[in-house]
Amino acid sequence: MAGFRDFQTGEVLTAANVNDFLAKQSVMKFADAAARDTALGTAVGGGNALREGMVTYLDSTNSVQYYGGTAWAAVGSDPNPGIGSNVVQTTLTSVFTASVAQAAQTPITGLSVTITPSSSSSLVLVIAMITHGSTAGGNSSGQWFTINRGGTDLFIGDAASNRTRVSSGSSASGSTLLDASLRNTTIIYLDSPATTSAVTYGVDGGHNSASTQTIGVNQSRTDSDVSNFARGASSITAIEVAA
């Protein structure tokens, strides 16, 4: 493509000049998007030959837009967002405890995140990182966790008799030192919510004890003001991913 050219009176306008200086370097101007779609069509090859790379100016919004092959988008934006275009995160730094019955699970208050996908075909990568201790039910009592979308469990194990179906967890065994330890459970799942409405992802917690026990997030099983006891932090992150 040639550069800018200032045509002179009486100069012969060749086909090459028309192609290089006019056709390939023009910005089409329309009253609004509807007028543009009427003039150019709404699909590649349709109407008056809509093509990827076209640039238009709209009087109604004083905006410059380009056609990316599937849709019009403002100059400087990405019509096909990928990883990192829409990211939300919730962190939980306070302690959460709850009394939970055997084989039950309870929502972890403060550990949920809401994301609004830009396209119904988008996927959402959910990453939950939970810091926790063992339960108060003895050295063999661990904790398990499940991620959910709007209260519906996601990414859980297959049904097997009366076993509780969860995403992941951590068991404890064999030593009173576990009273002071902190564990980390990380859950990573690529979800397909198939919507452009707001979607909320959360984390539920339970335990593997044979009776009702207290579960704890961000603290060890025994919480005390001595050097070997600690407080942790947890988070849940949702990232929109273009399908």
Instruction: Give the tens place of pLDDT for each residue, 38-89.
Output: 888 777 765 556 778 888 888 888 889 888 777 888 887 665 556 667 899 9
pLDDT at residue 80 in the model: 58
What is the reported pTM? 0.66
pLDDT at residue 78 in the model: 61
Q: Regarding the domain delimited by 87-241, which CATH topology (the fold level of the hierarchy) does it fall under? A: Jelly Rolls (2.60.120)
Q: 55: burial class by Cβ within 10 Å (0-12, 13-18, 19+)?
A: middle
pLDDT at residue 73 in the model: 83
pLDDT at residue 238 in the model: 97
| Cβ neighbours for 92, distance < 8 A, ≥ 6 positions apart | 108, 110, 111, 217, 218, 233, 234, 235
Query: Domains of the chain: which residue ranges?
Result: 15-74, 87-241
Q: Which residues of the chain have pLDDT under 70?
A: 1-4, 23-25, 45-49, 77-84, 135-141, 171-180, 222-224, 226-228, 243
pLDDT at residue 146 in the model: 94
Quote the CA–CA distance of 56 and 128 in Å, as a whole number. 43
pLDDT at residue 170 in the model: 75
Q: What is the pLDDT of residues 131-143, one digit of tens each?
A: 987 765 554 567 8
Q: If you write DSSP's letter for every residue of 198-231 in order, what string do you get?
A: -EEEEEEEEE--SS-EEEEESB-SS--SSTT--B
pLDDT at residue 199 in the model: 96
Q: How far is CA 24 from CA 95, 118, 197, in A?
A: 62, 31, 39
